[in-house]
Structure 1
Amino acid sequence: MKVTSISPAQDSIKLLQITDTHLFEPLDGSLLSVKTLDSFHAVVAAIAESGASYDAMLATGDISQDHTAVSYQHFEQGISPLALPCYWLPGNHDFKPSMHSVLPSSQIQQVEHVLLGDHWQMVLLDSQVVGVPHGFLSDDQLSMLDEKLTQNPDRHTLVLLHHHPLLVGSRWLDQHSLKEAESFWNVVEKHSNVKAVVCGHVHQDMNEMHRGVQVMATPSTCVQFKPKSDDFALDTQSPGWRELDLHNDGSVSTQVKRLASGSFQPDFNSAGY
């Protein structure tokens, strides 16, 4: 059964974002020498051990690295300790038929729109372009966003997608950004209710204001990319996740948390992936 509304336990909506898990069918599958299932499990364990409570979990794409149904099963099984509804969307590495193979799921929800309490809504966009790393939003996706913003003008809105709609200042990453992002921002600017946009894809922390909207990207649960690097480069930062508090007045407070320093270090001699 699809869960398309969340009733918060407190005054604000508390969300957990994890992204870019890059899981494989083999249990020891690795990306740039990081065993992604191990790092994913370590992140989930750290979140569980923290005792923090959330209303829902967001997974913003690149769940899988090898397109297999089993990799998505690993994800579904891996998040079970958190006992949260999980809203996911595809990234450039994902394979939608395999994503669908784990549905219906007791936790994973694949929906476009979620009502969050009395004051917020969430719109999930599919920016995948099959076979290439960059993103693009079809006319159907842009129309859906416009429709949800129009239908609920009094609800503050959180928009989710995989690809970054705002350049991060790394030449190699920015060529794989959301293409024709101006079309997205044109829809957003027609309305006054979009408060924040959250994405994955760039394997690093970003939190900037753009045209009055808070735009955030989040560290991967595995490998981190070095910020502001023109050429492919890996960062020494540990895997991480993001916490978001959506307040009734439309403001968003957020923080990125990470595993202990030095955890799951990649092969720094890698020239790409």
Structure 2
Amino acid sequence: MPKTFVHLTDLHMSNPDVDEPHLYSDTAAILRDALARIDALPDRPEFIIVSGDLTNNEDPVAYQRLRAIWDDVDIPTLFALGNHDSRPDFRREMLGESADLDAPYDHEAVIAGVHVIVLDSSTPDQIHGTLEDAQLEWLAAALDRHADLPKVVVLHHPPMMGADEPAFECLAAEDTEKLRKVLSGRPLLGLFCGHIHQDRVSIWNGVPVFVGNGHHSRMQPFSDMAIEATDGTGFSVCTLRDSGLTVNFLPQPSEGRTVMAMSHEDAARLMSEPAAEVVG
């Protein structure tokens, strides 16, 4: 029988009492709509993966709101962290932890016969992603476990596809190469990522990379502007059969209006700042 799971990303939950000029949608309402649509699917998903940017501005109240929403979700869920997240606040508010708050949040689970491996590619005060050597060693060991099960890897930042890709949109080049070496020759259903606010499928060194659009805005890949975002949002429903994996991108209702645009000059200036708040 087919198995279904859902990929959510870039939830960008906020604190309603804090003015956030870079928040372009009612992300709490969008999340509730997505969860209602998931609940109405003809086949109940076995699990949900959420590939980072759970909050918009590392706010403890945003994590509290997210946890309150997830209290009503009865589907097993695995969260990754992104560049808009705070490891300490996530661990305190979502997990109830009080120790090792700054440690990368790497974890794994076997659900419905699928081995899900989650990596924390967040880098404090940076947009781009990184992976520490210890994380890559942990990943290699995790990949050796449950050798008979299909595997997916979840992380916020997609690997760098080529030298022409802006560095802020992906994992650092050096860490992309390290990840490639760890994954080389491994049977893998795919990487599930977010960050760039686009529905995108790539084949990276033979590994499928599925990027979800998320709940904040939709970045236009072919624009005259350096960065152009519209109000589109969405999530993915993934179906695993004996023959392979299908990923369906489900857009949520939108008007297609532009919510943010930036010239190449302004983007170059802003991206030179270490804590820029433009993308992902």
Distance of aligned partners of 1:78 and 1:96 in 2 relative to their CA distance in 1, 3 Å threshold: same
Determine the C-alpha separation between the residues in 2 that align with 1:255 and 1:27: 35
Distance of aligned partners of 1:138 and 1:256 in 2 relative to their CA distance in 1, 3 Å threshold: same
Which residue is equivalent to 2:227? Answer: 232
Determine the C-alpha separation between the residues in 1 that align with 2:46 and 2:203: 25
Determine the C-alpha separation between the residues in 1 that align with 2:146 and 2:42: 33
The RMSD of aligned alpha carbons is: 2.6
Q: Which moved more, 1:13-22 or 1:148-157?
A: 148-157
Give the superposition deviation at 1:128.
1.1
Look up the SS of the partner of 1:242 in the other structure: strand
Q: Residue type matched to 1:123 in 2?
A: I
The unaligned stretches of length 5 or more in structure 2 are 97-104, 268-277
The unaligned stretches of length 5 or more in structure 1 are 1-10
Determine the C-alpha separation between the residues in 1 that align with 2:252 and 2:162: 23
Which residue is equivalent to 2:11? Answer: 21
Distance of aligned partners of 1:155 and 1:47 in 2 relative to their CA distance in 1, 3 Å threshold: closer
State the Cα deviation string for residues 42-69 of structure 1 (Å, max 9, x = none).
3223333445410111111101112122
Q: How does 1:66-105 map to 2 (within 5 A)?
A: 66-104=57-95
Look up the SS of the partner of 2:32 in the other structure: helix
Distance of aligned partners of 1:123 and 1:97 in 2 relative to their CA distance in 1, 3 Å threshold: same
Q: Residue type matched to 1:149 in 2?
A: L
> Does the Cα contact within 8 Å between 1:16 and 1:58 map onto a contact in 2?
yes
Give the superposition deviation at 1:244.
1.2
Look up the SS of the partner of 2:192 in the other structure: strand
Q: Residue type matched to 1:138 in 2?
A: E
Determine the C-alpha separation between the residues in 2 that align with 1:15 and 1:56: 5
State the Cα deviation string for residues 128-148 of structure 1 (Å, max 9, x = none).
111100001111111111111
Match of 1:43 among 9, 34, 40: 34
State the Cα deviation string for residues 18-65 of structure 1 (Å, max 9, x = none).
111111111686544322222222322333344541011111110111
Which residue is equivalent to 1:12? Answer: 2
Give the % identical residues.
21
The alignment status of 1:116 with 2:111, answered yes or no, reads: yes
Match of 1:267 among 243, 252, 259: 259
Q: Residue type matched to 1:254 in 2?
A: V
Distance of aligned partners of 1:83 and 1:266 in 2 relative to their CA distance in 1, 3 Å threshold: farther
Which residue is equivalent to 1:256? Answer: 249
Distance of aligned partners of 1:67 and 1:129 in 2 relative to their CA distance in 1, 3 Å threshold: same
> Does the Cα contact within 8 Å between 2:106 and 2:135 map onto a contact in 1?
no
Q: How many residues align?
A: 253
Look up the SS of the partner of 2:198 in the other structure: coil
Which residue is equivalent to 2:180? Answer: 185
Look up the SS of the partner of 2:230 in the other structure: coil
Determine the C-alpha separation between the residues in 2 that align with 1:136 and 1:36: 26
Q: Which moved more, 1:94-103 or 1:21-30?
A: 21-30
> Does the Cα contact within 8 Å between 1:40 and 1:222 map onto a contact in 2?
no
